[in-house]
Structure formats: structure tokens, C-alpha cells
Chain A
Amino acid sequence: MDNVQLLISGLANGCVYGLIALGFVLIYKATEAVNFAQGDFMMLGAFVTIGLTNTEYMGLPFWMALPISIGIMAGLGYLLDRLVIRRMFGQSQTAVVILTIALGFVIRFVAGLIWGHEPQTLQNPLAGREIAFGGLVLGMEDVAVIVVTVLLTGSLFLFFSRTKLGLAMQGASQNQLAAYYMGIPVKRVQGFIWALAGAVAAIAGILFAAKGSVDPSTGLLGIKAFAAAVIGGFGSLPGALAGGLIVGVIEPFASRYIAAGYSQIAPYALLLAVLVFRPHGLFSQVRVKKV
């Protein structure tokens, strides 16, 4: 029973990693860029929601604040693409990586200025409620996290593999110029994807802040989520979730069964192992370039 409890809380954590990883993969799939600031987006999403709902700030009702903060983050994602990323058209992947790392610094700085550096928790209707389930006691937040994540990943996966727009987005990433000639509005597609990634980050942030507390340095969680995305194979949405879950589960088990310090090491050791033996993640898409 103890292990099951550990597993569930690991899964709930993993879902948050998975959602951030999802943001990475979304942007990568559609624009071939890597947004290293995705973790900071998540943190910002959490703070925006806290700023809207918590009584010491605006004190809006929780269910009203949700769509507003998701909308704000989507807008920020879109603006970011519009004002910054779009100018990077044609520059190397590494340049975009460095740019978004810098962006992460800026977001953390701004969040620190607005909301301070103290850890804060999102006041939400699920807080403290529990469900008993055949001897298991689960926090409502954990259950909500898992359900929301599975639903979101599933619908995004269907969107990309079944709808015309989703396929067009994949096309846009493979060859921007060719996609443009095929009549795909590459720029609009990119803007939409960044907005979507912003919205997903907001959801991840809300879930994270409901479960625990956030402070500006929470954004660094993005690094772990990025590791998760790579473990799952960059470029596959279910893979991102799987990677997130693996990382989430491996952490509590490593600290339980090896030693306390190992919960930090385990995800990265796993990442190194995956990269050494399967250089492009578990579900690789890389083939040899034609000359």
C-alpha cells in the first residue's frame, strides 16, 4: 500500500513535469524551436492565477480566474512569438535555445519583482479534500492533476494526428519554405502554437500551485521537465507525458530505496543513460540528412 501511495504522488508530480514537457514538444513539433523558458512560463502561469484568485491580491472566484489566466498566458505566448521568436526565423536551433534561456532569466526577475520571492500557494476549492479509495487516501489535487493531464495530452495528440490544422503544423516544422509554398500560413501557425504552449503552461502552473507552493525559482523545474521530454523522445506528445511520468515516479522511489540525495540525481542519470544508448530519445525521429 505504501508503494502505491508513493506511486500515485509520483504520478501526480510526473503529470506536472509531463505538462511542461508537453509544452516543449508542442513548440518543437510545430516550429523546430526549443523553448527553454517553458518552465518559467509555468511558474508565471501559476503566479498570474495566484494574483487573480488569492485573497491578498485580487480575490476573484477560482473558476472565473482559471480561464482568465489561461487566456493571459496564451496571449503572452502569442506576443512572445510575434515580438521575439519570429525575428529568429532562419537562425539556428542553438540560438533559439540560448535566447529562451535568457528569457527565462527575465521572466524570473519580473515575477520576483511583482510577487516577491516567498513561496506561495494557490487558494483553490480542492485544497485539503481527500478521497478514500479502498484503503488508499488520495488528495483531490493529485487526482485532479492526473485526470486533467491525461485529458489534455489525449486531446492534443488527437488534434495533431487527426485534424488538418494539426497536420499542417507538423508540415510547417519539417520545412518552413516548402510548407509556405503549400499554402500553410507558417507564421500564423507558429503564433497559434506558442499561444497553445502558453495555455498548457498556465494549466501546468495552476495544477502545480494547487498541489504545492511556487516561487520564482520554480521555473528551473523546466530543466527537469526538459530532461523528461528528451527521455520520452522529443517530438512525440504521448512520449513527453511518458517521460514526465517516468521522472516523476523515479524520484520518490530513488529517495526511498537508495538514499535521500538520489531523488535529485536519478532523473539526470536516467537522461544520460538514455542519451548514451538511444541518442535521440526513446522514440527517435532523426534520420540521416540527404546530400
Chain B
Amino acid sequence: MRIVFKTDYMQDIRPWKDRYQLSLYLILLAVVFAAPWVLDVFYLGELTNVLIWAIAGMGLMVLTGHTGQASLGHAAFLAFGCYSNVILLEAGVPFILAFPLAGVITGIIGALVAIPALRLHGIYLAIFTLAMSILVDDIIVLTEPWSGGVSGKYIAGIDLFGLTIDRWGTPMLFYWLVLAVTVIVTLGYINLLRSPLGRSFIAVRDSEVSAQAMGVDIARTKTISFGLSCMVTGWAGAFMGLFAGAFNNETFSVVISIELLMMIVIGGLGSIHGAFFGAIIIGFLPQFLSIAKEYVGAVFGGSTVAIPGLEFGIFGMILIAFILFEPMGIYGRWLKIRTFFELFPFYRKDMFKRQKSYLKTERLR
């Protein structure tokens, strides 16, 4: 049993509760930093992919997990980020400028999209963003002169501080670049959550009327949330482009949007941890399934045929299981396990129980 005694307000303001917790996160960071020396190229690539998804997940988490605006169209912003990054690079802008700008441009587009979306709630917002995501495919085809349309675009390595960073040529450097951005975004996110703006996001999510009564401007808050969310998503998109090396109008399809939303739900809505847990699931599920298939094939003889849709089917089942049995996602389960050990042997089963609420109509808002 571990008890954290609080003697200073800074303990609640600092991102970590005590030195023990801080040291755990520092060790984690050191392990992740050292990973390229341990892992082979394939798994390093997978880990890079997980980090990129985690950035995208954090982008969507700001909007959906903390501001309560479900978006089924974030692949559109991945696309905006990816294309603007590559177009800027092709125009001769150095990466150190092009990359941040790609995020900023995507963020501005996101904030502009927020203006009509402000009046929409729940499912209406979901279908609005979903339609947007579907249309992006066609927009890319229609803007062929810039986007390359159906034939798509290619991007090889980038130059940063005199180093050539390439996903295939120098996977370690690429990994560290992604890791650095992940850490920066995570720190910014932590800071956001411990400041008034992050709290106003939560306020808007939980009760718009009382947020207003506390002086929170709903329209402004949602617009900022959209902007920040899309900026971070844009960065993830830029990395996805660099990671894939080639992309076209079908790379950022609606399915990616849905996958991203499901990912943060599985990870745990309303927590930064959730974005990472979800990214780990989505990143390693295909590997896990192919290993499992080989194993099954080895035991029952032979059948290693590809089953189309298997990944999504399994993913869907995992999600259904989580929504039914652990609505707070992996993070929620993790909190319970942690509390169990911290309070051992005083943990009670009903500790995380919520009051039962009945659904009232959402037509009245």
C-alpha cells in the first residue's frame, strides 16, 4: 500500500504526484529512447507507427475525449497535414519550417470547419465530420495539380540539421524525430490540462449551460479545441506521409477516421494515456493476428490463408467488449488495477461505481 501525502499545492499542479511516479515516467522515457539499439528494423518501424498513431490519437482526444465533440472525420485532417507538409517541402521550404507550418495550416482549417460545426451536437456533428471525411477523397482528386490526384505523391527523405532522415535509410533517426514530437505534444497536452483552458474544455464537455454560467465562451472554446486538435492531427498526418513514403486520395479514407475514433475509445476517453494505449492496440494488432494465425496454422495444420476483414472484425469485437464492460477503456482498467495495488488490501469492488443515470432525450438541448 502506497499513500501519497499532500503537503503543498504544487503537488497537484505538477504533472506528477511524487518522485516515485516521476521516476517511473523517466525510466519509461529512457527505455523508449534506447529502443532503436535493441529492436530490429521491422519492430522499430512498428514502434514508430505506434507513436505516430499516438500523436493522432492525442489530436482527436483533445476534441472528443476532453471537449466532448465526437469527430468521425479526423482522417481529413491527417490528409491536410500530410499534403501541406509535402507540398511545402516540394516548394523548397526546409523541413524545420514546413512541418510546424503543416500543423498550423491544418489547425486553421480545423478552426474554420468548427464555425459551421459549432451549432451541431452529438450525432449531427458525427455525421457532419463523417461527410467531410468522405468528401476529402474527392477534393484530393479534384485538386489534382497540387495533390497529384489518384496517382498520388512520393516523398523520400528529409533534411534536418544537415542529417538525412529517411524511414528506410535511417530508421533510427526517423524514430527519434517522431519520438521528440510525441514528447513535445504530450508535454503541451499535460500543460493544457492543468490550465484554465483545458478545464474549460472539460466544462464544455460535461455541461454547456453551466460552463456558460461560469464565464466560459462555448463557441470560442470549441473553436480553439478544434484548432488544437486538428493541428496535432496534422502533424501526425505529416508523419504518416513520411512513414508511408507514397500516398494518394485513398490513403486517408473514412475507415482511418473511424479507426482513430475507435482507437481512443478502446484506450480510454478523456485521458492522455488512452491515446497511447489505443495506439499500441492498433499498431500491434495486425502483428499479433498474423502471429496468432501462424500458431493456429501450425497446431491445426496448414491454413494460413488471408482472411479479409479479419483485422477489423477482431478490432470491432474488442471495441464492443470494452464499451460494454469497461467504458473507460484500457486506461480505466489500468487505474483500477493500480488502485487495487496501491490500496491493498483495502480495495473495494464498488470503488469506481457511478450513480446510475437514465437516458433523457437529447433532442432537448
Interface residues of chain A, those whose CB is within 8 Å of chain B, are: 32, 34, 84, 87-91, 93-95, 97-99, 101-106, 108-110, 112-113, 117, 173-177, 216, 223, 226-227, 230, 234-235, 261, 264-265, 268-269, 271-272, 275-276, 279-281, 285-291
Contacts and interface: CB of A to CB of B under 8 A. Distances in A.
Given A97-B126, A230-B127, A289 B116 contact: no
Contact of A98 (B307, B314, B319, B358): B319
A89 B359 contact: yes
Interface in B111-143: 116, 119-124, 126-128, 130-132, 134-135, 138, 141-142
B123 A93 contact: yes
A283 to B, nearest CB: 12
B324 interface: yes
Nearest to A179: B358
9 contacts: A106-B320, A109-B312, A109-B316, A177-B358, A261-B141, A264-B138, A271-B131, A272-B128, A281-B124
B356 interface: yes
Contacts of A105: 309, 312-313, 315-316
4 nearest interchain CB pairs?
A109-B313, A105-B316, A102-B316, A102-B319
A290 B362 contact: no
Interface of B: 70, 116, 119-124, 126-128, 130-132, 134-135, 138, 141-142, 209, 254, 258, 261-262, 265, 307-310, 312-317, 319-320, 323-324, 327, 356-365
A78 to B, nearest CB: 18
Nearest to A100: B320
B309 A98 contact: no
Given A117-B308, A275-B124, A175 B262 contact: no
A280 B124 contact: yes
Given A265-B135, A287-B364, A176 B324 contact: no
- Tell me the dominant secondary structure on chain A's binding face: helix
A289 B134 contact: no
Given A101-B262, A223-B134, A261-B138, A279 B127 contact: no
A235 B124 CA distance: 12
Nearest to B323: A99
Given A84-B320, A174-B361, A94 B122 contact: yes
B136 to A, nearest CB: 10
A35 to B, nearest CB: 11
B363 to A, nearest CB: 5
Nearest to B120: A279
A227 B128 CA distance: 9
A268 B135 CA distance: 7
Nearest to A105: B316
Nearest to B261: A98
A94 B320 CA distance: 13
B255 to A, nearest CB: 9
A32 B359 contact: yes
A281 B119 CA distance: 12
Contacts of B134: 223, 264, 268
Contacts of B262: 98, 101-102
A34 B123 contact: yes
